[in-house]
Amino acid sequence: MFLSIAAFILLGAGAVHSQFVPPPTDLITKTGYAGYKVRYKEVPKGICEQSDAKSYSGYVDVSSDQHIFFWFFEARDADPKTAPLTSWINGGPGSSSMIGLFQEQGPCRIDSNGNIVNNPYAWNRKSNMVFIDQPATVGFSYSTTTPGYIPDAESGEIVVLNSTSCPSDNITQGTCGTYSNPLLNVTDIPTSTAAAAPAFWATLQGFMGAFPQYSRETFHFSTESYGGHYGPVFNEYIESQNAKNIPGAHRISLETVLIGNGWYNPLIQYQAYYNFTVFPGNTYDYAPYNASTAELVYDNLYGPGNCVDQLIECANTGSNVICSAADNYCADNVESIYDEVLNRDEYDIRELEPDPFPPEFYVAYLNTGTVQSAIGAYVNYTEFSAEVGDAFNTTGDDGREDGTVEDMRELLEQGITVMMYTGDADYNCNWLGGQVVSQEVNQPGFDKAGYVNISTSDCIVHGQVKQSGAFSFVRIYESGHEVPFYQPLIALEIFERAIAGLDIATGHVHVNSAYKTIGTPESTYREGNSTIQFSVVNTTATYNITTGAPNPPLRWARLVKE
Ligand SMILES: *[C@@H]1O[C@H](CO)[C@@H](O)[C@H](O)[C@H]1NC(C)=O
Ligand SMILES: *[C@@H]1O[C@H](CO)[C@@H](O)[C@H](O)[C@H]1NC(C)=O
Ligand SMILES: *[C@@H]1O[C@H](CO)[C@@H](O)[C@H](O)[C@H]1NC(C)=O
Ligand SMILES: *[C@@H]1O[C@H](CO)[C@@H](O)[C@H](O)[C@H]1NC(C)=O
Ligand SMILES: *[C@@H]1O[C@H](CO)[C@@H](O)[C@H](O)[C@H]1NC(C)=O
Ligand SMILES: *[C@@H]1O[C@H](CO)[C@@H](O)[C@H](O)[C@H]1NC(C)=O
Ligand SMILES: *[C@@H]1O[C@H](CO)[C@@H](O)[C@H](O)[C@H]1NC(C)=O
Ligand SMILES: *[C@@H]1O[C@H](CO)[C@@H](O)[C@H](O)[C@H]1NC(C)=O
Ligand SMILES: *[C@@H]1O[C@H](CO)[C@@H](O)[C@H](O)[C@H]1NC(C)=O
Ligand SMILES: *[C@@H]1O[C@H](CO)[C@@H](O)[C@H](O)[C@H]1NC(C)=O
Ligand SMILES: *[C@@H]1O[C@H](CO)[C@@H](O)[C@H](O)[C@H]1NC(C)=O
C-alpha cells in the first residue's frame, strides 16, 4: 500500500515571527503505570470539544527520544467515570491520529473558514476516547526538537535549520517551524510493526496510570488502514504483556479490536487492485481501464518475477532487502497505475485528484500558537512523518503479512471481539481484498454465515455484515477509506454495538459463540455510477452524506429551486 504523501501538504501561512513552538511551561507531571512519566494539561473548553465533556492532552515519555502525544476526550452522553475507554490510531505507517480526530470520528471538524464545527456523530458520545500519535515523530509526537523546514511537500522530509531564522524564499518560509530532528539517527524509531508495539503498550501504561479514573473498566482499540498491521500485532502484544504479570504494570482489559479499511496481507491485497478495477470490479459500475491497461496490471502482478512472485519470495526469505524491493515494485507497478492513468483518489474511487474530501483545514488550525499552547504541544503539526515511512521502508514491512491474520484468530480465541469494516469506494485497502482476508481468519462458522443488511436508527441501509460469534466483516456503501467521514451515522452505531458485545446487524442481540448471520453468500448491492465524479471538485466544497456526492455550489442550488 503506497501512501500518497502529496495529500499531506502543510498549510502554514507564514507569520515571520513566532514561527517556532515555545516549549509549554504549564504541564502537570505524573508517573503512570510501569514507571512511565506523563506530562499533560486540561485542554480549555472550546478547543475542539464544544460540550462540557473534559479533555486532556500531553505526552507519555516512553524513552529519552520517544515522547508520545495523546489527546483524551471524556464521553459526552455517558458518565465518564464508568464509560468504556477506546483508543484510536491512524495508519501510514507515519500518519497522525489527528486525521481520525478531525476528519473522522472526533468531537469536532474544521471548516473552510477555520471555524470549529461540532460533530454530532463523535464516538466520544458513547465512550471515553484517547487519540494517540505513534510512533515518535508522528503528528505532535517527537524525538528531539529542532528548528526546520520542509522544502519538498511531496517527500515531507525535514531539513534542519542551524539558526532560528527561516529561509527567505516565499515557498518554504510557510513550512518553517519546530520539528523532530531527523539528523540524530534516532535509535528508537521503529522499523516494523512488531518493533512499534512496545512503545504503544508503554503509552497506554503511562496514560492509564495518570488517569486511573478513566481506565478502570474495559479497553477497546480502534484503528484504520495500516492499522490492519498495527491492530492485530499491537493487541497480541498487549495480551502477551498481560500474561507476564509485570510488577507495576496495569492489566489492560482488552475487549474489542475495530479495524477500518485495513492493510493486512499484501499478497491478497495487491491482487485485489486488479479485482477492484477489472474483474469482478467495484460496485460503482465503473470499469476505468481499457484492455491494454488491464493487461499491463495483470502482467505486472502475475508475470514471472513480478509482484506476486516477489511477495512470495519476501514471505519465504523474510529478507529486508527482498521485502522492501517487492513492496516498492508492487506499489510502483501495480497499485500506482491507477494514479497514473486515472488521476483518481486512491482512497475514494468516486473523486478525481485533488480530492477535497475529507478536508484538510484542520492542519492550519493545529499549527496556530493558540491551539498548540492549549494542548501543550512541543512541535509543529505534520500529518505524516517521512521519518517513520522511511524507517518502515527499510524492512519492507508493508510488503509483509506480519502474522496479522493469525493474530486476529488468536485474539478471537481469547474471547476478544474483532470487527473488520470497509468503505466500498476505497481502492487503496479495498473491500474485495478485505473480504478474502476475513475468510482467511477461519473463524468457526464464518464460512456458513451470510451477508445481511445492517439496520440503523435512520432506517436507511448503509451496508451489510457477515458475522459469526465475535467476528464480523462489514461492507459500507458510498464510503471511501475514512468511513466515519463518509458514513458517520452507521460508523457510530456499529462502533457502539461492537464495544457493547451486541450483534452488528441490529444491536439487539448479545452475541455468543453460536451467533451467526443468516443471509446471502455474497454482498451483491450495487451503487451504480451516479456518484462517480468526472471533474475536479472545488476545494471549498462540502460532502453530502445523504447523496454520497459533493453539495452543489450555492449558485446551482438556487438554479435548481427556480
Ligand atoms: C546545518 O549544519 C549542518 C552541519 O553543519 C549542515 O550539514 C547543514 O547543511 C546545515 N543546514 C542548513 C539548512 O544550512
Ligand atoms: C514568490 O515570490 C515571487 C517573487 O517575489 C513571486 O513572483 C511569486 O508569485 C511568489 N510566489 C508565491 C507562491 O507567493
Ligand atoms: C508552527 O507553529 C507556529 C505557532 O506556534 C506557527 O506560527 C507556524 O506558522 C507553524 N509552522 C507551520 C509550518 O505551520
Ligand atoms: C545517520 O545515518 C546515515 C546512514 O546510516 C549516515 O550517513 C549519517 O552520517 C548518520 N548521521 C549521524 C548524525 O550520525
Ligand atoms: C480476485 O478474483 C479472483 C477470480 O475471481 C479470485 O480467485 C480471488 O480470490 C480474488 N482476490 C481478491 C483479493 O479479491
Ligand atoms: C454508468 O453505468 C451505466 C449502467 O451500468 C453504464 O452503461 C455506463 O457506461 C456507466 N458510465 C461510466 C462512465 O462508466
Ligand atoms: C524505499 O526503499 C527502496 C529500496 O528498497 C527505495 O528504492 C525507495 O525509494 C524507498 N522509498 C521511499 C518512499 O523512501
Ligand atoms: C489505454 O489507456 C492508456 C492509459 O490511459 C492509454 O495510454 C492507451 O493509449 C489506451 N489504449 C488504447 C488502445 O486505447
Ligand atoms: C436490504 O437492503 C436493500 C437495499 O439496500 C433492499 O433492497 C433489500 O430488500 C434489503 N433486504 C432485506 C432482506 O431486507
Ligand atoms: C470554489 O468555490 C468558491 C466559493 O463558492 C468560489 O469563490 C471559487 O471561485 C470556486 N473555485 C473554483 C476553481 O471553481
Ligand atoms: C444533502 O442532500 C440532500 C438531498 O439532496 C438535501 O436535502 C440536503 O439539504 C443536503 N445536505 C446539505 C448539508 O446540503
pTM of the entire predicted model: 0.94
Cα–Cα distance between 544 and 550 in angstroms, integer? 6
Assess whether the C-beta atom of 113 lies below 6 angstroms from ligand 2: no
Q: What is the pLDDT of residue 259?
A: 98
557, part of any domain: no
Q: What CATH number should be reported for the domain holding residue 99?
A: 3.40.50.1820
403, part of any domain: no
Angle (nearest 5°) at CA 338 between 334 and 341 = 120
Tell whether the model's pLDDT for residue 12 goes beyond 70: no
| Cis status of the peptide bond prior to 280, with omega within 30 of 0 | yes
Assess whether the C-beta atom of 25 lies below 6 angstroms from ligand 2: no
Of the chain, the end-to-end C-alpha distance in Å amounts to 47
Burial classification of residue 292, based on how many CB atoms lie within 10 Å of its CB (0-12 exposed, 13-18 middle, 19 or more buried): exposed
Helix, strand or coil, per DSSP, at residue 377: coil
Helix, strand or coil, per DSSP, at residue 520: strand
528, part of any domain: no
* CA-proximal residue: ligand 1, atom 9 (nearest): 160
499, part of any domain: no
Helix, strand or coil, per DSSP, at residue 220: strand
Which of 61, 65, 327, 426 is an active site residue?
Answer: 426
* CA-proximal residue: ligand 3, atom 4 (nearest): 369
Assess whether the C-beta atom of 551 lies below 6 angstroms from ligand 11: yes
Q: Which domain holds residue 255?
A: 5-263+358-397
Which of 424, 481, 503, 523 is an active site residue?
Answer: 481
Nearest listed ligand to the Cα of residue 453: 9
Q: What is the pLDDT of residue 554?
A: 60
The pick from 285, 530, 534 for probing ligand 6's pocket by mutation, whose C-beta has the most ligand atoms within 8 angstroms, reads: 285
Q: Which three cell numbers stand for residue 144?
A: 528531539
Q: How far is the CA of 337 from the centre of ligand 8 (A)?
A: 12
Q: Which three cell numbers stand for residue 136?
A: 515518535
Burial classification of residue 79, based on how many CB atoms lie within 10 Å of its CB (0-12 exposed, 13-18 middle, 19 or more buried): exposed
**Residue 378, amino acid:** Y
Residue 401 backbone class (left: φ over 0; alpha: ψ -120 to 50; beta: rest) = alpha
pLDDT for 515-541, tens place per residue? 999 999 999 999 999 999 999 999 999
Residue 555 binned pLDDT confidence (cut-offs 50, 70, 90): low
246, part of any domain: yes
Q: Is 426 a catalytic residue?
A: yes
Cα–Cα distance between 411 and 418 in angstroms, integer? 8
491, part of any domain: no
Tell whether the model's pLDDT for residue 560 goes beyond 60: no
409, part of any domain: no
pLDDT for 184-227, tens place per residue? 777 789 999 999 999 999 999 999 999 999 998 899 999 999 99
Please provide the average confidence, as pLDDT, over all residues in the chain: 94
Residue 185 backbone class (left: φ over 0; alpha: ψ -120 to 50; beta: rest) = left
As for how many domains the chain has, the answer is 1
520, part of any domain: no
